[in-house]
Structure 1
Amino acid sequence: MEMGKDFEALIGKIEKELYNESNVQAIVLCGEGDKAFSAGGNLEWLHSLSENSVHQNVDTMVQFYSSFICMRQKLPVPVIAALQGPAMGAGACLALSCDLRVAASGGTPVLGFPFTKLGIPSGLGGMYMLQQAGISSTIATEILLLGKTLTGEDAHELGLVNRLVSADQVKDEAHSLAEQIAKMHPVAVRSMIRNFRHGKDHGLVDALYRDAHAQAVCYNRQDWGVGLNAVAAKEEANFDPYHSK
């Protein structure tokens, strides 16, 4: 939640700059360091959600999602995700919400959707973004139901990333792509980005609410935390049956 608030504040600052004589034409979004784009949700925070009511968790998750997805409404320039390493869970959904993606080759895991292994359905618009990415519904369904992690090669073959380079070149390639875009006509670029997003985001708000409600239900089950602990221990979870509380 803290990172979400910081991220949203930064987006607001950039938004003001973009509408106040800024010449920024593209933005590169990357993880700190060289190991990962995002490791996903904070496990301690996720554990603590069991203490809240379902309706409180719905509100919490909608707020959490919005703090990241707001960049699609507030930044009228292309955002390029530099996936030098894994983008897991919410991190993968954030990467998909970017306009373009550069990923590491060599079998590096780059997009992970371990939600069902954690004990929750996908969130932060992950299912919606996969469907909007143009991959078949059968492939998207398998990825999410089995909690798959895609390598750079997998993601590139499915059309989920634009460029595939060695891990140590990902950030440079993302900046190179941004520089190429920055040479294009600024009005044309901003206009097309708005149109691209408008076409994709028509049902995004409803999808985010559905995700929030579905996850909130799981946070209040008695077996919440079993999946988190299993993933942390690199073990297979043993969840309670469907009709359990």
Structure 2
Amino acid sequence: MNDQLVLVEDAHGVRFITINRPDAFNSLNRDLRLALLDAFQQAVEDSREPGRPVRAVVLRAAGKAFCSGQDLKEQLQDTKTGTGTEKVVEEYNPMVAALLEIPVPTIAAIQGPAAGAGWGIAMACDFRFMTSAASFKGAFTGVGLAADSGLSQTLVDTVGRSRALQLLLMDQKISAEEALQMQLVQSVVDPAELEDVVTQFAGKLAMGPTASYREMKALVKRAETVNQAAAAEAEAQKRLFRTRDHSEAVSAFVEKRRPHFHGK
């Protein structure tokens, strides 16, 4: 297994960025967040000007999970030591902002569960293709936190405010079929077909009028609204980080038991 946390390769105008922490279900620790930030920033540079080699970007993941969100073992340590309170501002938000800044079309290839910030990262992409084995889950209220990675905005943009609030509050797992019905994804395919379907879709985009695509994406994809939501999410996270309920939820997860919330 390659020990790089993020793998990057180019083929026929398509940049493939692979999250590569499968043994931890591609959960986001600090090293992975920074590695993704670097990969997204490089994609911005390599796709910004005419004649650049990147004309479409595919974000995918190794292993069974797309991304399970925040590494909760890291979160437990941060909760115990009082560290990491700025990671949403200093790491998550710049990472998502860089993904949103990529001027060419971005596609998420979701082969397995995407939870928390993993769902947020997928929603920050322009298009999403999902296998029948994949799912979405907020996983925020379950650990006593608010949304991050701009999900409070991208989800509203897709399904509307009422449905978005219901999904985030109730924290129910959304199957691939339900995701398709809610128009969260472009299509649902068999796991064996995902790579071919996404590669063909990305290839068609990479062969298109890239300058036109850049301008059209800038008009349709209002990145500033997602970044504003992410900033507000960061403030909410800081307020919730030190609550009793959050500490209890993280401890319960690591100890494999149900949390006992106190409402504070």
TM over 0.5: yes
> 2:37 is aligned with what amino acid?
E
Residue 82 (structure 1) aligns with? 109
Q: Structure 1 CA distance, aligned partners of 2:108 and 2:42?
A: 19
Count residues in correspondence: 233
Q: Structure 1 CA distance, aligned partners of 2:245 and 2:183?
A: 36
Residue 43 (structure 2) aligns with? 14
Please state if 1:143 is matched with 2:167: yes
| Larger mean Cα displacement after TM superposition, 90-99 or 229-238 | 229-238
Deviation at 1:240, TM superposition (A): 1.8
Q: How does 1:148-159 map to 2 (within 5 A)?
A: 148-159=172-183
Which ranges in structure 1 are unaligned for 5 or more consecutive residues? none
Deviation at 1:232, TM superposition (A): 4.7
**What are the superposed Cα offsets for residues 51-93 of structure 1, whole Å, 9 maximum, x if unpaired?**
337xx72x32112222321234431111100011011110000
- Larger RCO of the pair (alpha carbons < 8 Å, separation 6+): 1
Residue 191 (structure 1) aligns with? 215
**What are the superposed Cα offsets for residues 99-145 of structure 1, whole Å, 9 maximum, x if unpaired?**
0000012xx34211111111112122111110111x13221111100
Percent identity between matched residues is 24
Q: How does 1:166-185 map to 2 (within 5 A)?
A: 166-185=190-209
Check whether the contact 2:93–2:227 (CA below 8 A) recurs between aligned residues.
Answer: no
Please state if 1:123 is matched with 2:152: no
Please state if 1:207 is matched with 2:234: no
| Larger mean Cα displacement after TM superposition, 124-133 or 44-53 | 44-53
Which one of the candidate residues 124, 136, 147 is aligned to 1:97? 124
Check whether the contact 2:100–2:125 (CA below 8 A) recurs between aligned residues.
Answer: no
**What are the superposed Cα offsets for residues 171-192 of structure 1, whole Å, 9 maximum, x if unpaired?**
2211111011122211111111
Q: Structure 1 CA distance, aligned partners of 2:141 and 2:112?
A: 21
Computed over aligned residues only, the root mean square deviation of the Cα atoms, in angstroms, reads 2.0
Q: Structure 1 CA distance, aligned partners of 2:97 and 2:188?
A: 27
The TM-score with structure 2 as length reference comes to 0.81
Q: Structure 2 CA distance, aligned partners of 1:167 and 1:229?
A: 34
SS of residue in 2 equivalent to 1:203: helix
Q: Structure 2 CA distance, aligned partners of 1:85 and 1:113?
A: 14
Which ranges in structure 2 are unaligned for 5 or more consecutive residues? 1-29
> 2:235 is aligned with what amino acid?
H
Residue 21 (structure 2) aligns with? none
Check whether the contact 1:43–1:228 (CA below 8 A) recurs between aligned residues.
Answer: yes
The TM-score with structure 1 as length reference comes to 0.87
Residue 56 (structure 2) aligns with? 26
Check whether the contact 2:111–2:130 (CA below 8 A) recurs between aligned residues.
Answer: yes
Check whether the contact 1:79–1:98 (CA below 8 A) recurs between aligned residues.
Answer: yes
Cα pair distance change 1:19/1:208, threshold 3 Å: closer
> 2:42 is aligned with what amino acid?
K
Q: Structure 2 CA distance, aligned partners of 1:110 and 1:19?
A: 32
Q: Structure 2 CA distance, aligned partners of 1:219 and 1:130?
A: 23
> 2:58 is aligned with what amino acid?
V
